[in-house]
Structure 1
Amino acid sequence: MKQNHANSPLQTKARDREPTFAIVSRLAATGGVSAVDFGQDIGVPLARVLRGDAKTLDEIAAITGIESSALGRWTPLPEGKTKREINGHLFPVRPTLTSEVRGCPSCLQDDVQQSALSAHRAMTFRSHWLVHHVTLCIRHKRPLETLWKEAAPSLRYDTAAQFANIADRIIADDAPFERRDPTPFEIWFDQRLSGQPHETTWLDDHPLHAAAVFCRLLGIALLKLHDLRLSDLRPGSEWACYHLGFETARHGEEAILKELRRLNQLAEPRLGPKAVFPVLYDRLSREHVEDTDFAVYREVLARHLMESWPLGPGDDLLGTPVTERKLHSVRTAANETGIDIRRLRKMLEAANMIDAGLPDNWAVFDAKNAKTMMDSLLTFVSAKQFYEMHHIGRSQFNLLVEDGIVQPSLQDATTKYIWDPRKGRDLVYRLLVGGEIIQQAQHGWETIGKATQRLQLRPGEIIKAIWDGRIQLVARNVQFEGYASIHVYHDEVAQVLAKEQPSAMSLEMFAKTVGIANPVYLNRLVQHGYVSTSEMRNPRTKILQRYIATKDASTFHEQFITLRILARTKGQTWQSLARQLRNAGVSTFNIDGIDFGPVYLKTEVEAALAD
């Protein structure tokens, strides 16, 4: 039978924003025992209390006389494996339930002064202190401080016991602190979290955590408009980023787009969005790409990029490779066609196709609508003009001509103006479709010209290997333009084409090429007989080694596929493809519980993604 606690000292009331684990700890302190021992005594282990399931809350409600709904309001309730719900709002587990517990010493001092109980029993733990977006006590205008650090959850959330350890320090604390008024963001966030009436904003229509994250990311980006970087802020001053982003985002999409357009003016488009708003772009295109709570912010940023950025092959749109140019800028159009930039601008302005107030880099127009006009302005150019406008070195250009990669558009002409500038543009586009973007050449990346010199190859060999899929790792270096921006990965080119190398790839290089990040997974596939290898002598060390020869690679590609290969083939992000496969019930290849990494059976993937 259950013990009747109706007249026991375990009857209590929930305090301000107090989570269930703090209530249990407070009751444990009444009997002078730990929360773990108390949980065993009442038949409700603390581990279950920390999980916060409905059954446990009902049991605690029966013991304490507090309604289950009241207990659950400020208790971090589980929502799947990665989120917790606090008062109806979802937050990620990792930053919420960390080993570092923060709070407001002034609140705790008030608790002691207003109670006849011993200090550690009088102090109240407030659940909003767990939320990492909260950095200020609005009541006392005091920054939150670390109260204690504890790795073990059973000790960390035995709050009364922890209060006993710090009570003397808290009571005696009269050190001055930097008082500051709460920002509009902090007031809005606290009111939304607690369910209080608040000033209506555009952000109210969207989940609280995602809205707060977006405010911070946007604020970090907007620091540039004040000639500041995140590293310029003092430790503990990130609240300023939330404030800066909130002051714009609260007014909605048009206000956000206006500020993003201002940011455009601080960089060149060829450097890519990461050069303008690196943290905002990275988080929305990668970290939060699968979280539907962030979809509205991704849509706003995507709209901005599609309306104001001259994106073309070699760029990406929030992680999705761009395969076709939608917008030209005056600069990109002039660079790719050889049309005099001043003449082109005058024609575009006369046709009302560009904003006359924008510089050449950012004055964009619809590439398709302007095609007829641009074709009428285009003239054939000399060989020198051709290789210079597409940033091809003279010697490299001559080799490309000899290899049949580029050819004049007019034969047997009496003029030297026989080269169509569009052919150079098409060459660059074709090589960059589905490629990566790098900020500088490092970790093995080099130009095609450099690779041909080091490996004694012809540029045509490398280019044809890219076109037929034997070379997978291709990138656009944002520091350069045109052909000079195209980079390949040296080790891959060497193992695919170099004459002094075996006509095969090392297991490590093959794993990198197909998108298996850790070679351990490929080794497992080999060890269990799912992938074949060929024994060949390393020409440098003369030692026999296992390689992935052409026939071995063909066998792999017939049976398996990876997200890297799939993304390049489909022109989609690997994140979106992973989500599609997951929704279709397709999981990575796994036999008898053995993890073979991010490898899928090709037949399952093709069936799941079939039109």
Structure 2
Amino acid sequence: MLSALVLRTEPKPRETFYSFVGRLAAVNGVSLHDFVTDFGLRKNGFFKLDSDVVQAIAQLADLKPSQIDEMVSWTGRPLEGVRMAYRGEQIVTRAIRNPEVRGCPDCLRQDVEGASQPVAAMAMRGQWLLRHCHVCLLHRKLLVPIWSTTHPSVRDDIQANLSELSSSIIGGEFAGTVVAPSAFDMWLDRRLEMMTDDTWLGRHPLHVIATMCDLVGRLIAYEAGAAGRGGDGIDLHRIYAAGFDCMIGGQVALEQLLERRLNDRAPTDGPQKVFYPLYRKLGAVLTYDPGFHHFRDLIRERVLDTWPMATGEIVMGTEVLKRKLHSIASLSQETGEDSGTLRRRLAAKQIIDPGDDRPDAQITFPVLAYDRFATDLSELVFQADVREAMGATEPQFDGLVAEGLIAPRVAGQNLRRIWSMDDGLAILARLQPTALSIAPGEDGWVQLQDAARQFRAPLSKIFDAVGKGRLVVGKVTGREGYGAIHVRADEIVAMFRNPQHVGLAPSAFGVSVGVKTGGAIQLLIDQGYMTVTELTDARTGVIHQRVLEPDATSFHTRFLTVRTTAAETGISSWKLSGLLRSRGVIPFETPRGPVLGVFDRHEVWAAVHEEMPSHGQIR
């Protein structure tokens, strides 16, 4: 057991173990190296704070266990995994062991006032070791670098370094910048002193919270357009202060910052730009530290909810086990489907907005929404596919559309219409169950849609009559599809032929003037833009709207279609369509929307006359 030295000194508040032993050696007139060697202490054990060496120093300095424990806690005792025990916390070693040793020159000058041996009086404080500490609260100045070396044993020989620099320190060559301590500085000092924290930040390790204050402060600076700053002490002080002001507001304040960054992002911004520098630091540099898991999760959750990260990608240090979002582009790449077709199919199921004209990579949607309709989406096809599947000719299909018996799932200006295969097959399922087998060309039978046209019978009424068993249906042997469905001509005549049934149904009139959009003419009638004649069927009591000659005149007097314009001018339909587009003539607009295919007569003739003056004036 070692005896206490005759010449001793007392530890100063927050003094590190290395500083104290250096002063103890100076008091006894020897270097730190000689002091350790003379008492047979292992030099490596000294710098590693091995318990036997620390205990020997305690005996030589006649210190109480509490004094030794206090100094060691301000110094940082090495632990496994490149960590240190420091002020009741486990902190990564490089957070308190830096090549650059900082301090407050005013504190060191104050130490030597009235002292005969400056080196024996100057004490290095433990808070100066922590890289997150930037301010001396006593003198309200920034800490300054005192010396720097990459060799730990040289760096931690406090006596040798202060001996070399003491005259410069005392002479005022080292000076910190005056600064007003921030709330972060006060919080950090209090937490180091008390080793407790009753704010929500106390739930997390000191180094984690201090690092988050740094990163959040940089994100705030980046948001304010000062991303390149943060290199000098003043900027670092401001960064930590700004980050702490956010962090002390609780998790809600941090989440509000993250949400604001998401809301303010440009369409092409990725997560690394939006969450700079949190995304890179937490997701790559600091993945070794589980203390940051909570904050990594906050950002990862938002990344996965915002960007279409694929299964298997690494996001914030964690592999994505299941994709949450798709974009049109990523779904196209994954399925091999054409992106334009996918866009229309997704719009049909209202998974995306049909009017969203952003690039494919920027339109995202939940994978679950897609999975729910994946099978249905595969049934969404173009018109020709539906016609082929149901065995209908183009005129037959147009008739069904005109009657509203089938409609596109997606339709709109500048959008190719897309249809559901199921809708077409449902028509067959509606007509075929009770169909009789009939021979090709058998007398008395007529194809269902031909019957509607010949006898001016609405298709929808025929469909209803078939469904109620009031009409017999036949199917031509050896043929399939809608074209093979026939009805008896005499039954159609008996049911629908009536003197009152003259003129055309609104939809049929629309077809006659080249308007194939279902309900277009009816919209004009309902809004009072053209007349219609209502006739009551004496046998059924059903009121029918019929377009008679005066009604047709009320339409032609006010409106034109491409077909009727072609008839009046002799200009081809395709040339007229291009002319109207180039002159900006748009479909007639009603309070309930545009009437596709129908145009104001004056606007059409104005465009025709402007383009082709030889075609005369408006009639």
Structure 2 unmatched runs, 5+: 333-337, 384-415, 421-619
Pair 1:30 & 2:27 matched: yes
**1:21 counterpart SS class:** helix
Partner of 1:150: 149
- Specify whether residues 381 and 53 from structure 1 end up closer, same or farther in structure 2 by C-alpha distance, changes over 3 A only: farther
Give the corresponding residue for 1:205: 203
Query: Deviation of residue 81 (structure 1)?
Result: 4.8
CA distance in 2, matches of 1:55, 1:26: 20
Identify the residue that residue 241 of structure 2 maps to in structure 1. Answer: 243
Q: Secondary structure at the match of 2:243?
A: helix
- Decide whether the 8 Å contact of 2:309 with 2:323 is kept in 1: yes
Matched residues in 2 for 1:377 and 1:186: separation? 59
Higher relative contact order (CA 8 A, sep 6+): 1
Which segments of 5 or more consecutive residues in structure 1 lack a partner in the other structure?
A: 351-355, 383-415, 421-611
Aligned residue number for residue 123 of structure 2: 124
User: Aligned AA for 2:65?
Assistant: S
What is the TM-score when the length of structure 1 is the normalising length?
0.54
What corresponds to 2:275 in structure 1? 277
SS at match of 2:112: helix
Measure the CA separation in 1 of the matches of 2:294 and 2:43: 39
* Aligned amino acid, residue 128 of structure 1: Q
Which residue matches 2:216?
A: 218
- Residue 302 of structure 2 corresponds to which residue in structure 1? 304
Secondary structure of the 2:310 match is coil
RMSD of the alignment, in Å? 3.9
**Partner Cα separation in structure 1 for residue 188 and residue 181 of structure 2:** 11
Q: Is the 8 A contact 2:265 2:274 kept in 1?
A: yes
| Contact 2:328/2:339, CA 8 A, preserved across alignment | no
Q: CA deviation at 1:134?
A: 1.2
- Superimposed CA distance per residue, residues 164-185 of structure 1 (whole angstroms, 9 cap, x where no aligned partner): 2222211221787531112212
- Map of 1:20 onto structure 2: 17
Counterpart amino acid of 1:110? Q
What's the CA shift for 1:288? 2.1
Q: How far 1:31 sits from its partner (Å)?
A: 2.2
1:455-534 equivalences in 2 (<5 Å): none
Q: TM-score, normalised by structure 2?
A: 0.53
Provide the C-alpha distance between the structure 1 equivalents of 2:45 and 2:129, rounded to a whole number of angstroms.
19
**Alpha carbons of 1:33 and 1:176: their partners in 2 closer, same or farther (altered >3 Å)?**
closer
Query: 2 CA distance for matches of 1:89 and 1:305?
Result: 31
Q: Does 1:40 align with 2:40?
A: no
Asked if 1:56 is matched to 2:53, the reply is yes
The Cα of 1:340 is off from its aligned counterpart by 5.9
Q: Which residue of 2 aligns with 1:367?
A: 367
Aligned to 2:74: 74
Is this contact kept in 2: 1:142–1:178, CA < 8 A?
A: yes
Deviates more, 1:252-261 or 1:22-31: 252-261
Which letter maps to 1:165?
E
TM-aligned CA deviation for residue 234 of structure 1: 5.1
Q: Are 2:79 and 2:85, in contact at CA under 8 Å, matched by a contact in 1?
A: yes
Give 2:112's aligned residue: 112
Find the aligned partners of 1:381 and 1:61 in 2 and give their Cα distance: 89
Shift in CA distance, 149/280, structure 1 to aligned 2, threshold 3 Å? same
Question: Could you list the per-position Cα deviations for residues 115-156 of structure 1 after superposition, in whole angstroms to 9, with x for gaps in the alignment?
Answer: 434222111111221111112212212111111223443333
CA distance in 1, matches of 2:239, 2:328: 34
Conserved? CA contact 1:269–1:309, under 8 Å: no
Provide, for residues 239-270 of structure 1, a one-character-per-residue CA deviation record: whole Å limited to 9, x for no partner.
Answer: 33322222222233332222112112444576
The 8 Å contact of residues 52 and 75 in structure 1, kept in 2 or not, is answered as: no
Partner in structure 1 of residue 169 of structure 2: 170
**What amino acid sits opposite 1:62 in the alignment?**
Q
Matches within 5 A, 1:353-364: none
Query: How many angstroms apart in 1 are the aligned matches of 2:155 and 2:190?
Result: 27
Letter in 1 for 2:86: I
| 1:221–1:279 contact (8 Å) kept in structure 2 | yes
Cα–Cα, structure 1 residues 363 and 203, in superposed 2: closer, same or farther, change >3 Å? farther
2:7 touches 2:28 (CA, 8 Å); kept in 1?
no
AA matched with 2:247: A
Q: CA separation in 2, counterparts of 1:314 and 1:87?
A: 40
SS across alignment from 1:84: strand
The DSSP-based 3-state class of the residue aligned with 1:40 is helix
User: Which residue among 291, 294, 299 is the counterpart of 1:293?
Assistant: 291
**C-alpha contact (below 8 Å) 2:323/2:367 kept by paired residues:** yes
Q: Deviations over 1:543-582 (max 9, x none)?
A: xxxxxxxxxxxxxxxxxxxxxxxxxxxxxxxxxxxxxxxx
- Cα pair 1:106 1:140 within 8 Å, conserved: yes
CA distance in 2, matches of 1:124, 1:323: 54
> Which one-letter code corresponds to 1:94 in the other structure?
R
What is the correspondence of 1:174-573 to structure 2 with a 5 Å cutoff? 177-195=176-194, 200-229=198-227, 231-233=228-230, 235-236=232-233, 237-268=235-266, 272-313=270-311, 315-322=313-320, 324-328=322-326, 336=339, 338=341, 344=347, 347=350, 366-369=366-369, 371-372=371-372, 379-380=380-381
For 1:176 and 1:3, how far apart are their aligned partners in 2?
A: 41
Distance (Å, rounded) in 1 between the aligned partners of 2:268 and 2:318: 17
Q: AA paired with 2:164?
A: N
State the shift of 1:51 in Å: 0.5
C-alpha displacement of 1:277: 2.3
3-state SS of 2:180 partner = coil
Whose Rg is larger? 2
Contact 1:13/1:65 (CA < 8 Å) preserved in 2?
Answer: no
Measure, in 1, the Cα distance between the counterparts of 2:273 and 2:343: 28
Rounded to whole Å, the distance in 2 between the matches of 1:232 and 1:341 is 47
State the SS of the aligned residue for 2:146: strand
Cα distance, 1:207 vs. partner? 0.8
